[in-house]
Amino acid sequence: MRAAALAVAAALVATGTAYVAGSSSATTTADRRPVAGTHCPTFPADNYWHADVRQLPVHPRSAQWLSHMSTSVDLHPDFGPSFGDGPNYGIPVTVVGSAHPRVRVRFRYADESDRVRYPLGRDTRIEGGRRSDGDRHAIVVDRGSCTLYETFATQKRSGHWYAGSGAVWSLTSNRLRPDGWTSADAAGLPILPGLLRWNEVKNRDVDHALRFTTDVTSTRHLWPARHDAGSRTSRAYPPMGARFRLRASYHPSGLGPKAMAVVRAMKTYGVVLADNGSPWFFQGEQNGHWPIGLIEALKRIPADRFVAVDTSSLKISRDSGATP
């Protein structure tokens, strides 16, 4: 981890302030599908998650990476009606007001977590439920300040809150976490902007890349990812932050207009490798409105119709998620 980043983080923690990824950068904030129940965007219009990747070149290592990513399978929507954590599973989003009580959270990876008080409480929705043995992500948006709080392995024991790690962002800024820091995701990225949300699919207007996982990854990461948790040193394995695009030549039939909106998003914005997990599982919000027919349609998208894209031309600054 860079000494400068450590110094900044230490100074902020000493004053009781988080190293808020995004707290100090001049950006333009457009009307980017506000989080439900808020006026808050899911990061600025020029943010990496909203970048159009249709014209980007194929990455030189695309074939190598894909050869280690089980491309014989179809994509799997990791949300909706299911026999898993549910009956309606996915990653829930909790929206709170600025007056919501803040609590101290004890982190397993405290040196890479934003050590401030988090707006957690009885109303906090946790992925899979509080007794789940899964990732137990908690995503909380303060609608007053447009601040995003995310934690991993979240639980409350004996009156105290615990988590594996925690990260805080301003939803109106592009600033990234210090390079080398994790978040609630292995890639050190925010989870919220990569979730497929019901309202945007219902309106057939998905304007961002989607978060997905694979099982074997590299010990490297690509901008704007800040962290990795892979098991392979070879560059032939995909790194965290790798972005993949659904081929323009893919023309499915019979998927329905809502599923086709997701297909268009995968062609336009792509999918971003954000964590280790089951190959080609992509994530969405927990929402009881997901139709089972839509979920089944999304399971028909073949993994072998994706290519990795070279996103190096999108980077303006190594510490910012802003794009040209």
If DSSP codes are grouped into helix, strand and coil, which group holds residue 5? helix
List, for residues 291-312, the tens digit of each pLDDT value: 999 999 999 999 999 999 999 9
- C-alpha span between 304 and 171 (Å, rounded): 34
Find tokens 């997905």 and name the residue. Answer: 212
Asked whether residue 211 is domain-assigned, the answer is: yes
CA distances from 83 to 78, 79, 90, 128, 196 (A): 12, 11, 12, 12, 20
Paired sense of beta strands 165-170 and 281-283, if any: unpaired
Residue 123 near residue 84, CB atoms below 8 Å? no
Helix (H), strand (E), coil (C) string for 6-66: HHHHHHHHHCCCCCCECCCCCCCCCCCCCCCCCCCCCCCCCEHHHCCCCCCCECCCHHHHH
Asked whether residue 323 is domain-assigned, the answer is: no
Asked whether residue 135 is domain-assigned, the answer is: yes
Asked whether residue 322 is domain-assigned, the answer is: no
Instruction: Kindly report the average pLDDT of the chain as a whole number.
Output: 90
**Average pLDDT rounded to a whole number, residues 309-319:** 98
Per-residue pLDDT, 86: 60
What is the extent of the structural domain holding 79?
A: 3-35+42-314
Asked whether residue 319 is domain-assigned, the answer is: no
**Average pLDDT rounded to a whole number, residues 208-222:** 98
Asked if pLDDT for residue 161 goes beyond 50, the answer is: yes
**Average pLDDT rounded to a whole number, residues 204-214:** 97
Asked whether residue 219 is domain-assigned, the answer is: yes
Asked whether residue 324 is domain-assigned, the answer is: no
Per-residue pLDDT, 133: 86
Per-residue pLDDT, 131: 86
Residue 149 near residue 137, CB atoms below 8 Å? no
Per-residue pLDDT, 8: 36
List, for residues 24-58, the tens digit of each pLDDT value: 343 343 456 788 889 999 999 999 999 999 999 99
Beta carbons within 8 Å of 156's beta carbon, 6+ residues apart: 120, 130, 162
Asked whether residue 321 is domain-assigned, the answer is: no
Tally of domains within the chain: 1
pTM of the shown model: 0.90
CA distances from 291 to 2, 5, 143, 213 (A): 46, 45, 28, 23
Q: Within a 13 Å sphere around the CA of 63, how many CA atoms are in the beta-carbon half?
A: 1
List, for residues 164-202, the tens digit of each pLDDT value: 999 999 999 999 999 999 999 999 999 999 999 999 999
Structure tokens of 265?
A: 């998003």
How many other CB atoms are there within 10 angstroms of residue 59's CB atom? 22
